[in-house]
Amino acid sequence: MKYSKLFGKTIRDVPKDASVASHQLLLRAGFIRESTAGRYYLLPLGLRVQQKIQSIIKEELDQAGAQEMATPILHPKYLWEETNRTKAIGFELMSIKDRNDFEFVLGGTAEEMLVDLVRKFQISYKDLPFNLYQFSIKFRDELRARGGLLRLREFLMKDGYSFHISEEDFKREYQNMIDTYTKIFQRLGLKTQIVEADNGYIGGEYSHEFVVESDNGESRYFTDGEGYSAHEDVAKFSLESVGSDEAMKPLQEVEGKGIIGVEELAKFLKIPVEKTTKTILFETDTGEVVAAAVRGGFDINEEKLVKIIGCKMLKLASAEIVQSITGAKVGYAGVLNLPQEVKVYLDESTANRKNFEMGSNKTNYHTINVNFGRDLPEPEQFYDFKIAKEGFIGPNGQKLIAKKGIEVGNIFQLGFYYSAKMKGAEFTDADGKKKKYYMGCYGIGLARSLATIVEVYHDDKGIIWPEAVAPFLVHIVGLDMEAESVKDEAERVYKLLLAEGIEVLLDDRIGVSAGEKFADCDLIGIPYRVVISKKTTDKLEVKKRSEKQTAFVTFAELLKLVKG
Amino acid sequence: MKYSKLFGKTIRDVPKDASVASHQLLLRAGFIRESTAGRYYLLPLGLRVQQKIQSIIKEELDQAGAQEMATPILHPKYLWEETNRTKAIGFELMSIKDRNDFEFVLGGTAEEMLVDLVRKFQISYKDLPFNLYQFSIKFRDELRARGGLLRLREFLMKDGYSFHISEEDFKREYQNMIDTYTKIFQRLGLKTQIVEADNGYIGGEYSHEFVVESDNGESRYFTDGEGYSAHEDVAKFSLESVGSDEAMKPLQEVEGKGIIGVEELAKFLKIPVEKTTKTILFETDTGEVVAAAVRGGFDINEEKLVKIIGCKMLKLASAEIVQSITGAKVGYAGVLNLPQEVKVYLDESTANRKNFEMGSNKTNYHTINVNFGRDLPEPEQFYDFKIAKEGFIGPNGQKLIAKKGIEVGNIFQLGFYYSAKMKGAEFTDADGKKKKYYMGCYGIGLARSLATIVEVYHDDKGIIWPEAVAPFLVHIVGLDMEAESVKDEAERVYKLLLAEGIEVLLDDRIGVSAGEKFADCDLIGIPYRVVISKKTTDKLEVKKRSEKQTAFVTFAELLKLVKG
């Protein structure tokens, strides 16, 4: 490709609304342009990279036995109603009617579509297992798009769905996909952590995210440096035991005007932080008010609590509601004397304590020396809805380290989540009986992977593409191109490289300074730079984008170098 | 690929609602399944074929200097409003709002999107010309989907858009695309006619369809066997001159009860057919009633008439309207004494006649010996809205032959149609002035091309894929696979072929009869069949799907054969 003909030139200025590196660089280097928020044009350079990513994913998945196919983008809405996912919160679904008022949703994931396809066939145990995948445009009506390609509303996704006769066979495939994804991301140059995660609106019981550590990521997770990694929504950690063999003391209300924070309160009451209790009132999506309490020093993870309550959404109860229910201002809630209709959820961190503190439901008052069994009934059940924090002890006994990263892929156990809900989602087993199949699903976001590569591989001058995904392998910078002999030499080398099957971008522009050409070359980030100018002799000046030193090599040596 | 693992098996029964060959065969052979009307799943076999078609298109377009990129599927509706295409009739547009009530349309073609992209850059004459294309899912909310993949509501389309400094440069690219499309369809095994066509909702002044002759096609066109081909909406033909030197006769009303047809009327009145006149009343989309008249023996092409009137849609006026306007039942309309508000359009075929017939606007009555200048004012203008018919004389003096075909591609001159309407759709010319660019656009429907290949290449047993697009090149039919030695031999040949880079499908099923396996093999239509069974010696039995005779060859000979 000649740069003079390439559509989508570089720009020098950093775009105003682009804050993350990948967004800035992809815009400036001419890989992408925004259409509307969260929807991008991929320019020829950007599409080339995405296609390389796509090829790598396809190769590895085919190698792993998966089969590519394609579903329509418009999914009949009745399928999503069959699984009740039209009502799932967190899924930013868009729907549309055709001229006959038939309703569709714009595909976000395709579990129902795949089950609907598979049930068109009379499948038997002999047909199982299979893993079907597609590359298709997916839609998420996100509240906020951000970071260029990092969170899009419309993007190319690889989504795969596997079908099994048993959980055991599914587990084999789940491991197969873990291995395959690991290989894929390695080939893309991305070092991924496999992080336990929440299944959310996808359903099923467990899942894993493939996360690339990055400050620009939105996935917050914990690792213990010893193999345990989990998203904050599901991270497990052990509780330090709190002494519980002391004798019960008399219950007492203490005035502590305006003292709300746990640390301040503990100091004021002269008790350890773990004897304080944080009680929060929430409203559910159905308008119910619930109270949730954790031990001082912990916070509540709303995702965990939503699952425990079995509701779809939670929000903090308004000050008015808190006042009307507790009779006190915000900050003094406790579970001692709440109206009966307010359901109480106690985190396990509140258990095994003696003489603990709790809000009095009375403005400015805290009750101390509270004890289960005496002041409060011994609860039937404690729950786990605490959020992990850096320094907490993980399940392997190591301290947890907080991380941020970009989720580039995820894999889900679905189990019978879909096949149980959808009619005819079954196979005929060897015994002639119809049985529900066991499922898993597997996703990779291509545009986000592309942006993540840029997050990892760049410097202050531009992108530094890994060879496997680079839009071109060699960037010939032609200087003095107005001189016929230089132009001829540049064209000669260009054609020789092309003839060797090497992808080359030739900067053949006339009237552009050497400085500009070098700056563009660094910005675009093609792995090998070859300079051809008046000074070029029988040796070619070559430099790797990722290195500083240049070398002078023969064409044969250049070939050897770039062919690796 | 092993057939036992392949998702999507063959079925024997002809599906009830599939009437055209490609629809039946693609369903039966396991290439596609319907989701909802006009929206299909591509199963692994179907997708493989579509990908081969895609690769061929991409290769030829890249070779021709076009550059691939990608636009979002959801187009901001304001862009379509900028060109007023939201109101274009014939374009079955679907629109959708996001959570912020921002309105999008589902992309059907992407002219506005491309112009919107290009105007984000400050382009100069040095950047031009370029031809940008994409493969993307397109949506058409068709009134009726039909024929499986022949008319879809959602499908993968290659759409390209070229930008030029001048009409002259555009014409070069238009020819470049004619040549490129011709090559593409040749490689796909499709013999295409290049047919002049109407630009419709795309806009611009002229366009050409690439049509494959087929009884299952919806494109009706005419050829003269000498290089002239035109869609019925634009076909030109010469009028036989009608004697016009006779003297005017006295105007006369003749009762002809129930005589409506032109032939019958001519016989009854004892006048030549060309002296009769057919007058039809139409209602426009704005509710206006117009009258259009052609000479007996001709029919009206509504597409042509719509353009002449400058309305968006026409429908035949209802019997009630005809009665209220003409005072007569349907069949006796004429333009002699219509109310002034009814605008009259006369086809050029009605000109140059003396003493012609016309309906009297009086039930059962026809007026004869009508003459312009005496009974009717000499019209200011005659129009051409006749439809061509087989046997008419084309512009080259040859008789026209009526054809039906499938439109697999089309190319459009757009001129300034978009750049004139859209702000900033301009480039800086060498003289420093901003000028509007000249455009063209170019489309190929991939799924329709796929189905057309099947329409052309099949017999009563199944599909006969051309090698260039076949899902696999070799189909090994393994018989007696329960015998370990046969299974080993089949696997050995399978792996040897794979190692040679040949795509192979191995029917490894156990418990399926030889007859069934051969029938499946013929149905799926892979170019080369290799049978491996207990009888296999050192020679392999090979047969081309397109031929009857089998041959026994060594592996080396087989390789030579399939590698062509």
Q: Left if phi > 0, otherwise alpha if psi is -120 to 50, otherwise beta: which for B225?
A: left
CA-to-CA distance for A10 and A370, rounded, in angstroms? 67
Tokens of B506: 């191995």
Name which of B127, B31, B122 is nearest A69 in CA terms: B31
Four-residue CA torsion sign, B462, B464, B468, B474: positive
First to last CA, chain B: 22
What does each C-alpha distance from B461 to A393, B3, B24, B520, B525 come to in angstroms? 68, 19, 12, 9, 9
Per-residue confidence (pLDDT) for residue B391, from 0 to 100: 86
| CB pair distance less than 8 Å for B154 and A116 | no
The Cα B257–Cα B254 span in angstroms is 9
Task: Report the largest interatomic distance among the alpha carbons of chain A, rounded to a whole angstrom.
Answer: 99
Distance from CA of A43 to the nearest CA of B (A): 5
Identity of the residue numbered B548: K
Residue A135 above 90 pLDDT?
A: yes
For residue A332 the two structure tokens come to: 């003094």
Residue with tokens 């759709």: B425
- Strand ordering across the sheet containing A277-284: A314-316, A277-284, A289-295, A343-346
Q: Cβ contacts (< 8 Å) between B65 and chain A: which residues?
A: 5
Residue B99 has its nearest CB partner, among A9, A120, A141, at A141
Say how many C-beta atoms besides its own lie within 10 A of residue A492's C-beta.
12
How far is it, in rounded angstroms, from Cα A454 to Cα A459?
10
In terms of Cβ atoms closer than 10 Å to its own Cβ (0-12, 13-18, 19+), residue A50 is buried
Q: With an 8 Å Cβ cutoff, is A319 touching chain B?
A: no
Q: Residues of A numbered 123-152 whose beta carbons fall under 8 angstroms of chain B's beta carbons: which are they?
A: 126-127, 130, 132, 136-137, 139, 141, 143
* CB within 8 Å: A71 and B154: no
- Residues 40-59 (A) with a CB less than 8 A from some CB of B: 40-44, 46-47, 50
CA dihedral A49, A53, A56, A60 (to 10 degrees): 180
CA distances (Å), origin A490, targets A70, B238, B260, B298, B455: 43, 57, 77, 64, 49
What was the pLDDT predicted at A445? 97
Residues β-bridged to residue A530: A476, A542
The Cα–Cα gap between A493 and A536 comes to: 12
For tokens 């054809």, the residue is B403
Decide if B39 touches A, using CB distance below 8 A: yes
Say if the Cβ atoms of A67 and B6 lie within 8 Å. Answer: yes
pLDDT tier at A486 (50, 70, 90 boundaries)? very high
Of A72, A95, A127, the CB nearest to B154: A72
Whether B428 and B123 have beta carbons less than 8 Å apart is answered as yes
B392 vs A122: CA distance, rounded Å = 55
Query: Phi-psi category of A52—alpha, beta or left, where left has phi over 0 and alpha has psi -120 to 50?
Result: alpha
Vertex A155, ends A149 and A156: CA angle to 5°?
115
> Which residue did the predictor score with more confidence, A238 or A517?
A517
Place of tokens 């390389």: A52
Instruction: Please name the residue that has the structure tokens 């050029």.
Output: B348
Mutate to test the interface with A, among B3, B26, B96, B120 (most CBs of A within 10 A): B96
What's the token pair of residue A398?
């190591």
pLDDT digits (tens, 9 = 90+) for A23-62: 999 999 999 999 999 999 999 999 999 999 999 999 999 9
Q: What is the helix (H) or strand (E) element at residue A262, kind and residue range?
A: helix A262-269
* Residues forming beta bridges with residue B131, ordered by sequence position: B162
The amino acid present at A547, given as its one-letter code, is E
pLDDT for res A90:
56
End-to-end Cα, chain A, rounded Å: 22
Tally of CB atoms within 10 A around B314:
19
Residue of B98, B149, B164 to mutate, testing the A interface (most A Cβ within 10 Å of its Cβ): B98
Nearest to A88 by CA among A203, A193, A189: A203
Closest to A530 in 3D by CA, of A481, A479, A470: A479
Paired strand residues for A272: none
- Pairing verdict, β A343-346 and A289-295: parallel
Q: Does the beta-carbon distance from B8 to A154 stay under 8 Å? A: no
Write out chain B residues lying below 8 Å of A92, CB-based: 99
d(CA A149, CA A533): 37
Q: Tokens in use for B323?
A: 């009665």
Residue A130 has φ and ψ, to the nearest 5°, of -145, 155
Nearest CA in chain A to B100: A143
The tokens for A83 are 């699984």
Q: φ and ψ at B436, to 5 degrees? A: -70, 140
Q: How far is CA B19 from CA A58, A555, B32, B35, B46, in A?
A: 35, 61, 15, 18, 19
Partner residues linked to A95 by β-bridges: A105
CA distance B149 to chain A (A): 13
Beta-carbon count within 10 A of B137 CB:
17
- Pick the residue from chain A with its C-alpha nearest to B105: A96
Is residue B71 within 8 angstroms of chain A, CB to CB? yes
Cα–Cα distance, B117 to B131 (Å, whole number): 13
Residues listed for chain A: 564
Q: How far is CA A288 from CA A291, A322, A381, in A?
A: 10, 13, 20
Q: Rounded to an integer, what distance in angstroms lies between the CA atom of residue A111 and that of residue A88? A: 14
Return d(Cα A74, Cα B151) in angstroms, integer.
Answer: 16
Per CB-CB distance under 8 Å, the chain A contacts of B143 are 99
The complex scores an ipTM of: 0.90
Confidence of residue A423 (pLDDT cuts 50, 70, 90): very high
Nearest CB to A68; choose among B9, B47, B117: B47
Interface test with B, best of A12, A55, A69, A428 (most B CBs within 10 A): A69
Answer whether B35 sits within 8 Å of A116, measured CB to CB.
yes
Residue matched to tokens 């396991």: B30
Among A69, A73, A117, select the one facing B137 at the smallest CB separation. Answer: A73
B319 close to A (CB below 8 A): no
Return the pLDDT at A212.
97
- Does the beta carbon of A67 lie under 8 angstroms from any beta carbon of chain B? yes
Of B68, B76, B139, the CB nearest to A35: B76
pLDDT at B203: 86
Contact A99 B132 (CB under 8 A): no
Helix (H, G, I), strand (E, B) or coil at B4: coil
Residue among A42, A74, A121 minimizing CB distance to B9:
A121
pLDDT tens digits for A236-292? 888 776 767 889 999 999 998 888 788 899 999 999 999 999 999 999 988 899 999
pLDDT along chain B (564 residues), means of 10: 95 87 97 96 98 98 98 96 79 86 94 97 95 96 87 96 98 98 98 92 91 93 91 85 81 88 90 94 92 93 89 90 93 91 93 92 94 91 90 89 96 97 97 97 98 98 98 97 95 97 97 96 98 92 97 96 91
Return d(Cα A241, Cα A349) in angstroms, integer: 9
Q: What six digits make up the tokens of B281?
A: 């009343």
Question: Which of B47, B116, B121 is nearest residue A9 as measured by Cβ atoms?
Answer: B121
- In the numeric block, the tokens 């599906």 are attached to B15
Taking only the tens place, the pLDDT of each residue in A64-121 is 999 999 999 999 999 999 998 887 755 578 999 998 899 999 999 999 999 999 999 9
Nearest residue, CB atoms, B117 vs list A41, A99, A102: A41
CB atoms within 10 A of CB A502: 17
- Binned at pLDDT 50, 70 and 90, residue A543 comes out as very high
* Alpha carbons B249 and B226: distance in angstroms, whole number: 43
Contact A70 B42 (CB under 8 A): yes
Structure tokens at A135: 């590359």
Cβ burial of A340 (10 Å; 0-12, 13-18, 19+) is exposed
Residue pair B398/B228 in contact by the 8 Å Cβ criterion: yes
Contacts of B70 in chain A (CB under 8 A): 41-42, 47, 50
Strand partners, B39: B36
Matching residue, tokens 């599939």:
B18
Q: Residues of A with CB below 8 A from B117's CB? A: 33, 35, 41
Interface check B120 vs A, CB under 8 A: yes
* Strand-pair category, A277-284 with A289-295: antiparallel
Torsion of CA A105, A106, A109, A111, to 10 degrees: 40
Give the global pTM.
0.91
How many pairs of residues across A and B have Cβ atoms under 8 Å apart? 131
B292 three-class SS: strand
**Chain B residues within an 8 Å CB radius of A26:** none
Mean pLDDT of all residues belonging to chain A: 93
Would the CB atoms of A47 and B69 count as touching at under 8 Å?
yes
B505 and B472 in contact (C-beta within 8 Å)? yes
**Residue matched to tokens 């007569």:** B328
Residue in B98, B87, B93 with CA at minimum distance from that of residue A39: B98
Q: Where are the beta strands (DSSP E) in A426-544?
A: 426-428, 434-436, 438-445, 458-459, 462-463, 474-478, 504-507, 528-532, 540-544
d(CA A410, CA A160): 11
The answer to whether A68 contacts B44, with C-beta atoms less than 8 Å apart, is yes
Contact B44 A67 (CB under 8 A): yes
Structure tokens that stand for B242 in this block: 């009608």
H/E element holding A555? Answer: helix A555-562
- C-alpha pair distances (Å), A120 with each of A117, A432, B11: 5, 18, 12
> Residue B129: is the preceding peptide bond cis (ω within 30°)?
yes
User: Across the beta sheet with B540-544, what order do the strands follow?
Assistant: B504-507, B474-478, B528-532, B540-544, B550-553
Q: Is A74 on the interface with B (CB under 8 A)?
A: yes
